[in-house]
Amino acid sequence: MTLIQIIVLALIQGLTEFLPVSSSAHLILGSKAFGWPDQGLVFDVATHLGTLFAVLVYFRRELMEMARAWLGPVQNDQDRLHRNLVIYLAIASIPALLMGFLAHDLVEFYLRDVRVIAWTTIGFGLLLWLADATGAKHRGLEEITLKGAIIIGLAQALALIPGTSRSGVTITAGRFLGLSPEAAARFSFLLAIPIVAAAGGYGALRVATGDAPIDWTQFALALVFAAIAGWVCIAAFLALLKRIGLMPFVIYRLLLGAVLVWLLN
Angle at 71 between CA 70 and CA 75, to 5 degrees: 70
Task: List pLDDT tens digits, range 131-188.
Answer: 999 877 778 888 899 999 999 999 999 988 888 888 999 999 999 999 999 999 999 9
Q: Helix, strand or coil for residue 168?
A: helix
pTM (two decimals): 0.90
Task: List pLDDT tens digits, range 220-247.
Answer: 898 999 999 999 999 999 999 888 889 9
Domain ranges of the chain: 3-264
For residue 189, give Cα distances in angstroms to 195, 223, 238.
10, 18, 10
Q: Cα(59)–Cα(21) distance, rounded to whole angstroms?
A: 21
Q: Which residues contact 119 (CB under 8 A, 6 or more apart)?
A: 163, 257, 261
Task: List pLDDT tens digits, range 49-65.
Answer: 899 999 999 999 999 99
Q: What are phi and psi of 179, to 5 degrees?
A: -70, 150
